[in-house]
Structure 1
């Protein structure tokens, strides 16, 4: 049984007492998806990441173990951060967790989230698309990083392998979270939220992110024109600028506490 790893320090700050940010990957992703951003991440912050229970090709039984919002909360329980940056599926979990009292006072960057403002926006074609075209997100991921050097037919095979690893249970967890998005009470979230959308995203519709930013009490929107579902890798410079601009709007008094002994340093 895999419940996720311990948060890891990936880029330290030059000065002690710096605020601390945690990077959360999406469904079947890996923490390494943030590597292009980490090379450009705003200074003055500690940047941490973590391998979550739904990391790609790890133990797929995470989907048998209850609510993924609670799984995420368990991974970060007792950890103290000043900012959360969450991609895709994890962005939805952070948004929903805010309505339950977790992370609601923690500023967040929500990257490529899935969101509908009304329940009646879901129809049978929505289910058909996300079921039958589910592999397309993983195929896009195969064009990034080390996987990009593989032949196209191998990348296609790997995308289907990731889809099969997620399986029906994982897909149901994902789509159930998406279905719940219109029902989440966003009014209880008090902290600022930056929503980042790639205008070429075929997984999380750009209009999803625009609607979420408009619905949040303190929602801001950054649109990256030439990006798909992975703007932190597809336009790392533009993504980093958007995050840096957002950080300048946060209260300067946000400071981290001393590191917990259980945190793994890398």
Structure 2
């Protein structure tokens, strides 16, 4: 497919019905990882019974390679490029007003999608979503010739996982980070911690046209509960839910604990038609 004027190959997985009654649910993974984070949701019968669940790997991530010529450039994700990517994928798959749900960087970009593309969406859900974070550690260590990139990426996010996460799910989440391409996590955080400040756009979001729900785990020092509450308070009609026991990766670290909070939100958005 074409993304910003360049040919790309984008890897997509999906589960659930594809008929007219199925509600498209487009899933956005976190910085530095890939669509495997949605493995439990894609296997959940209560969700896939009514929702066409679609997870794709962003270019440079997972099974989506960088575009030709990548060796001559530094990967840096921006708000404009990220929103353009999501809408390009939705249009390429001919999705009719999908619900878009993302986590971390995905939980941030859904706010821009709601502000810029409300008429093309049924609603947005931000897991660990807030309008601004800022940089709270030296990002250069994530791409340094004397530091093992995969191991330092896993180490950086290990403290963001909630204490209730099952051991197997915790370490699988970290393994995905350890497999990221050189500099990709750093490039994603250019959006998350530097360029992607969306506080100025929140007043433009009309939740009557595009509902907004923000679900945040209580154990997260990256997107803190108070950050999510402040973001929701700046969007009239937005919903904020703080989830006990969960951390920064609720869909992969402990989907069973996320599901009771998520399913009612999905059903409510789907019922809007």
TM-score calculated relative to the size of structure 2: 0.70
User: 2-side partners of 1:70 and 1:98: how far apart?
Assistant: 13
| 3-state SS of paired residue (1:109) | strand
1:76 aligns with one of 90, 94, 112: 90
- Corresponding residue for residue 45 of structure 1: 51
Inter-CA distance 193–102: structure 2 relative to 1 (3 Å threshold)? closer
Task: Report the 3-state secondary structure (helix = DSSP H, G, I; strand = E; otherwise coil) of the residue aligned with 1:249.
Answer: helix
Pair 1:175 & 2:193 matched = yes
Q: Is the 8 A contact 2:160 2:219 kept in 1?
A: no
Does residue 36 in structure 1 map to residue 54 in structure 2?
Answer: no
Matches within 5 A, 1:94-133: 94-101=110-117, 105-116=121-132, 126-129=134-137, 131=139
Match of 1:63 in 2: 76
- Please give the secondary structure, in 2, of the residue aligned with 1:46: strand
Give ranges in structure 1 of 5+ residues lacking alignment: 117-121, 255-266
Query: C-alpha displacement at 1:110, in angstroms?
Result: 0.7
CA shift in 2, pair 1:226/1:99, >3 Å: same
- Residue 244 of structure 1 deviates from its aligned partner by 1.5
Quote how far apart the aligned CAs of 1:56 are.
4.8
Q: CA, structure 1 residues 169+35, in 2 after alignment: closer, same or farther (shift >3 Å)?
A: closer
Contact conserved, 1:108 with 1:194, CA < 8 A, in 2?
Answer: yes
RMSD: 3.7
User: What residue in structure 1 maps to residue 171 of structure 2?
Assistant: 148
Q: 1:251 to 1:46 in 2, by over 3 A?
A: closer
Alignment partner, residue 166 of structure 1? 184
How far residue 194 of structure 1 moved from its aligned partner, in angstroms, is 1.4
Give deviations 1:169-203, integer Å, cap 9, x for gaps: 4432332344x221224433332111110110132
Change (3 A) 1:133 1:227: farther
Alpha-carbon offset, residue 251 of structure 1:
5.7
Question: Any unmatched runs of 5+ in structure 2?
Answer: 1-5, 143-152
Aligned match of 1:187: 204
**Shift of residue 35, structure 1, vs aligned partner:** 1.0
Is 1:231 matched with 2:250?
yes
Deviation at residue 227 of structure 1 after TM alignment: 1.1
TM-score by length of 1: 0.71
Q: Distance in 1 between matches of 2:38 and 2:204?
A: 30
Deviation per CA, 1:98-131: give whole Å up to 9, x if none.
2223567421111112324xxxxx7xxx534363
Q: Is the 8 A contact 1:22 1:83 kept in 2?
A: yes
Per-residue deviation, 1:216: 2.1
Contact 2:61-2:184 at 8 Å conserved across structures? no
